[in-house]
Structure 1
Amino acid sequence: MTFQQVYGYEPSVRYSAPGRVNLIGEHTDYNDGYVLPFAIDRRTTASIAPRADRVIRVASAFDEAGGIVSLSLDELSPEAMDGWSAYVFGIAWALREQGSDLTGKTGFDVFIESDVPVGAGLSSSAAIECGVALAFNDLWELGLDRKTLARVGQYSENHAVGAPTGIMDQSASLLGERDAVVFLDCRTLDTAVVDLALEANGLEVLVIDTRVEHAHATGGYAARRASCEKGARVLGVEALRDVSIEDLPRAQELLDDETFRRVRHIVTEDQRVLDTVRTLREHGPRAIGSLLVASHESMRDDFEISVPELDLAVATAMEHGAVGARMTGGGFGGAAIALVDREARDAVAAAVTSAFAAAGFREPNTFTVRAAQGARRD
């Protein structure tokens, strides 16, 4: 299915935005903490043509029925949109809600296609949002910078789609650069690009998609966020960003066991992000393996967002020579990543696939990703 097949004419412009892998820093974003994602060489493309009226029409290559969903700019509201098309309509709504004047603006025909795996924790949703946000910003001549567009994408996902995510995914998709990670302070939105230097060190990132699908708009993610907010409230801080490692003994006295473990993950994960940035700058990517493994153990034991498939993927990768490995994304399924020597990639992937078969798990989808450029006009 193509734009031309759906709409009967050719698009006038194409924009694309990448999915992302989070190297380290999980669930820290909505706690005003630190994250270290990178944009990947899997992208979502939005083919677009302006219309003469105020209607936005949306179709996608992953809707086999070839259906078109339409909504007028004058009727935009979270209640008027549902399903995957909310990722497109929600951006137009969020731009208006965040202060852009859409008076007199005309609509678009939009066609979405993607090679970012859905449900793998690689942020296929943010890839749609960011490509569309960049396109609408340019075509409507709104003049917003990329950090503002990241906030628009997060606002849309929170309030139009209904997923209580932080700003990491959109920031990575909009700000990513080749062979580098984006060091993001989620409180100030200050960013720094840090060389990942995998190519020079003969390393690759192997993604192990467990094919256990998750849905962020449902309970597990929201429950973890509520625990973090409870912890901050009891500890008397604005966000868990303001709690240090040294504060944890006091936190353990004040909090119930489950809330304390949730808090401990966030506090130690923030420190691991800072340690990873320092280690990359001082010693390079081969020195970060223990930090990746410690992150996974914290998500497994303290935050309790892993699943047996993710644990098996990480353990098997490490047993077969990975430099480091961890689950990535929101959890409850999705993907793990393993930092591997280029020549060991196929052997690690084969070992994981074999281990999944022996455990009676669904066959995983394994592939490598590279750190790539962020959203762009193609």
Structure 2
Amino acid sequence: MKYLVGFSRIFVGILFIISGLIKLNDPVGFSFKLEEYFSQGVLDLPFLMPYALAISIFVVILEVVLGIMLLVGFKVKFTVWSLLLMIVFFTFLTFYSAYFNKVTDCGCFGDAIKLTPWESFTKDIVLLILIVILFFGTKHIKSIFGKKVQSIIILVTIVACGLFANYVLNHLPAKDFRPYKIGVNIKEGMTVPDDAPKAIYDYAWRFMVNGEEKVIVTNGGYPAVDGEFVDVETTEIQKGYEPPIHDFTIEKDGEDRAETLLADDKLVMVIAYDLAKSNLNAFFDIKKVTDRAMNKGYKVIGMSASNEQFTNMIIDEYQLNFDFYFTDETALKTIVRSNPAVLVLKKGTIEQKVHYKDLESLIFN
């Protein structure tokens, strides 16, 4: 039991620290995932949605702190109880998501490691077993430092996590794991290779043959059956290749202009996934920055999921010299974790990407 507890302590502690730090790198992204869980189609807790970011920051810092507390043996009973309650809740969420197919990615490791709902549930079951071992083997969890040193370690951890969270919230994630990071070519990211694996489906055809129901399964071809067709049920048995960028459009008047715009040698994108939630004061600085870009020969466009009436109001109020195009809100949230934000591209390649608080760092050649 002593060795089993020792292994569980190290494994659980390190995993909670890694999971927490990855999400702490991008608390805004984790808050989007929490909003998805809180939505009416999932847990139906819409009153929590305005607090998603605050909950996100609290949860990820708590993950890191509990992982450190477990490893150093600080307040063992409190730590193990907290871990147990947290993993029971996470296990419920991942099972609910997997069984009812509500949330396709739990966000357990942010965008760094993507897990399917059932993979997430399996991971939580393993953690639950290990934490239960810790729960019953608490007496084997010994402190490795004195109480004073432990208290200093925990305090430093909390302060460091708070400072890091403040940094990434006021700038951008320190490490970008998304498919729109600097250096990525968006057009190439949307390309499907010729030799990419195709999706494979099973087709269950139902017929009435001589008054009896008959089901024939094929991989696509219509079966040769002397009977009356009833219906067909399609099941995907193997997923095909999905490009890293698969939901990106730049629409104007119902037409996708992405291909033309991404071919531009000098393109500036002003991104605001929802203008109603944007820091509108930032548009005073965006006005200055975009005018400077235009004087250097850049084409400037706005990209938002807000309606045309709202975008026109923003253009008039802040005297912007560019038009807004429509792009899906989820895609815009994925591109950049700032609302608004500015990207600079050269023939589809992202060369610069900044938070609205870092607009002065943009360079236009």
Counting strand residues as a fraction of each chain, which structure ranks higher? 1
Q: Which has the higher contact order (CA 8 A, sep 6+)?
A: 1
More helix by share: 2
Query: Structure 1 length normalisation: TM-score?
Result: 0.28
Larger gyration radius, structure 1 or structure 2? 2
